[in-house]
């Protein structure tokens, strides 16, 4: 960056181990939070809140969850959407069946249910790894969506499992406008993101990274594989579950099991590949990229087609979108396997020396 850490001496361990050790970083984060909480509400319209900002935050949270599992603990999962579904349906059922339960508590309970299911499907991870595990998590994806469709109790006997979420009431105040929902989602995401940032530099986080880099070696140096891997599954699924609950309650308002499809799992996986595997910030960058690209293409492609006088249907646009997604994934894996987060880091290092790099 344009600033250095020069002159900031740490005189205690607490000071040395802060989340953001450099003062300018701390100020930067605070400014960012201030913009998100105070600045954005002043300028953004309802469309922005409900179509871009809220899904962005929710998918960032889901990507963060997958990043904990895949990026830090090294266990590839293709079932993140299913865990989101568990969170959404569990939160709905807690609201429905327990009289007067606060909405935030049922979100947390939804996350815990997802964590439980995650642990269940994470159990095979001790025996199998790599592709075998990735395929095994597909079992979670198909099985959970099927269960939600077929067991009427889970969706309160609605046809084909569609649920309409209850009102969002916090401390007697009902959240109705997109702005209020945005603030709620933002607050939850900020808290969970800070928790994740803390978690991955703790002993647990280091154990995950050791397992990721080589699990046999990790177990040789005394890391217990089963609890470490299962904890990664649990926490990752908790994040996905909360994201799913927010997706249902704050974004769509009414969801069906088939909405949490394999495609959505892939989308979340793409977010962390493009954003940066093993990076908290990368989850946010990736989510922004994957969500904004289709919007950008929807606008840009017809414009380009008009420029060259080609006939363009909406089907063509969606095919080009899929094609570009695929191409971008391959491009990022080849050129920058650590994604946008790494690009940001390189930029920062370059700027440290700028304008005199030698």
Partner 1 sequence: MNFFFEVLIGGLLSGVMYALVALGFVMIYKASGVFNFAQGAMVYLAALAVVGCMEMGAPLWLAVILAFAIMTLFGIATEKFVLRKLVNQPPIALFMATIGLAFFIEGLAPLLFGSQPRALDLGIVDEPIAWVLDNWNMVISKFDLVAAAVASLLVATLALFFQYTRVGRALRAVADDHQAALSIGIPLQHIWAIVWGVAGFVALVAGMMWGARNGVQFALTFTALKALPVLILGGFTSVPGAIVGGLIIGASEKLAEIYIPPVLQDLFGGSFGGIEGWFPYVLALLFLLVRPEGLFGEKHIDRV
The residue among 79 and 178 lying less far from partner 1, judged by its C-beta, is: 79
Distance CA 150, CA 155 (A): 9
Tokens representing residue 222 in the block: 């005394």
Contact 196, 68 (CB under 8 A): yes
Contact 86, 244 (CB under 8 A): yes
The residue among 20 and 132 lying less far from partner 1, judged by its C-beta, is: 132
What's the closest the beta carbon of residue 277 comes to partner 1, in angstroms?
9
Residue written as tokens 């947390």? 108
The residue among 35 and 330 lying less far from partner 1, judged by its C-beta, is: 330
The residue among 9 and 153 lying less far from partner 1, judged by its C-beta, is: 153
What's the closest the beta carbon of residue 156 comes to partner 1, in angstroms?
13
The residue among 9 and 308 lying less far from partner 1, judged by its C-beta, is: 308
The residue among 170 and 214 lying less far from partner 1, judged by its C-beta, is: 214
Query: For residue 293, which of 269, 316, 324 has the smallest C-alpha distance?
Result: 324
CA distances from 284 to 111, 189, 328 (A): 20, 10, 17
What's the closest the beta carbon of residue 20 comes to partner 1, in angstroms?
30
Contact 83, 233 (CB under 8 A): no
Residue ranges that bind partner 1, judged by CB under 8 A: 74, 76, 124, 127-128, 130-132, 134-136, 138-139, 142-143, 146, 149-152, 214-217, 220, 262, 266, 269-270, 273, 315-316, 319-330, 333-334, 337
Contact 115, 298 (CB under 8 A): no
Tokens representing residue 239 in the block: 């994040």
What's the closest the beta carbon of residue 202 comes to partner 1, in angstroms?
25
Residue written as tokens 């205690």? 12
The residue among 252 and 317 lying less far from partner 1, judged by its C-beta, is: 317
What's the closest the beta carbon of residue 114 comes to partner 1, in angstroms?
18
Distance CA 192, CA 194 (A): 5
What's the closest the beta carbon of residue 194 comes to partner 1, in angstroms?
28
Distance CA 124, CA 258 (A): 25
Tokens representing residue 235 in the block: 């926490």
Tokens representing residue 313 in the block: 């249907």
What's the closest the beta carbon of residue 137 comes to partner 1, in angstroms?
9
What's the closest the beta carbon of residue 152 comes to partner 1, in angstroms?
5
What's the closest the beta carbon of residue 95 comes to partner 1, in angstroms?
23
The residue among 42 and 315 lying less far from partner 1, judged by its C-beta, is: 315
Residue 267 CB coordination number (10 Å): 20
Q: What distance, in Å, lies between the first and last C-alpha atoms of the chain? A: 16
The residue among 114 and 145 lying less far from partner 1, judged by its C-beta, is: 145
Residue 315 class from Cβ within 10 Å (0-12 exposed, 13-18 middle, 19+ buried)? exposed
In 3-state terms, the chain is what percent helix, strand and coil (to 5)? 75, 5, 20
């Amino acid at each position: 960056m344009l600033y250095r850490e020069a002159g900031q001496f740490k005189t205690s361990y607490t000071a040395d181990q802060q989340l953001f050790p450099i003062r300018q970083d701390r100020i930067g984060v605070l400014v960012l939070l201030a913009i998100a909480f105070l600045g954005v509400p002043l300028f953004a319209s309802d469309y922005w809140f409900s179509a871009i900002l809220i899904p962005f935050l929710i998918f960032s949270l889901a990507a963060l969850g997958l990043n904990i599992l895949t990026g830090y603990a090294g266990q590839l999962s293709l079932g993140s959407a299913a865990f989101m579904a568990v969170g959404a349906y569990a939160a709905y059922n807690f609201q429905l069946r327990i009289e007067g339960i606060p909405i935030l508590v049922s979100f947390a309970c939804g996350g815990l249910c997802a964590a439980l299911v995650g642990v269940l499907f994470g159990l095979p991870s001790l025996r199998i790894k790599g592709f075998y595990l990735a395929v095994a998590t597909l079992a979670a994806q198909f099985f959970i969506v099927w269960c939600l469709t077929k067991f009427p109790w889970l969706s309160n006997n609605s046809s084909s499992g569609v649920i309409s979420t209850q009102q969002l009431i916090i401390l007697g105040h009902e959240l109705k406008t997109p702005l209020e929902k945005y603030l709620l989602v933002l607050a939850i995401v900020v808290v969970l993101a800070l928790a994740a940032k803390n978690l991955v530099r703790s002993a647990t986080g280091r154990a995950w990274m050791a397992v990721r880099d080589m699990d046999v070696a990790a177990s040789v140096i005394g890391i217990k594989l089963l609890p470490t891997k299962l904890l990664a599954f649990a926490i990752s699924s908790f994040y996905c579950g909360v994201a799913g609950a927010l997706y249902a309650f704050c974004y769509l308002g009414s969801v069906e099991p088939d909405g949490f499809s394999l495609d959505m799992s892939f989308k979340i996986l793409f977010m962390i590949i493009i954003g940066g595997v093993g990076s908290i910030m990368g989850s946010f960058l990736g989510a922004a990229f994957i969500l904004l690209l289709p919007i950008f293409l929807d606008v840009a492609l017809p414009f380009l087609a008009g420029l060259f006088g080609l006939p363009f249907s909406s089907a063509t646009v969606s095919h080009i979108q899929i094609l570009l997604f695929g191409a971008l994934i391959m491009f990022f894996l080849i050129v920058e396997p650590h994604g946008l987060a790494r690009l940001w880091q390189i930029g920062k290092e370059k700027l440290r020396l700028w304008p005199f790099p030698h």
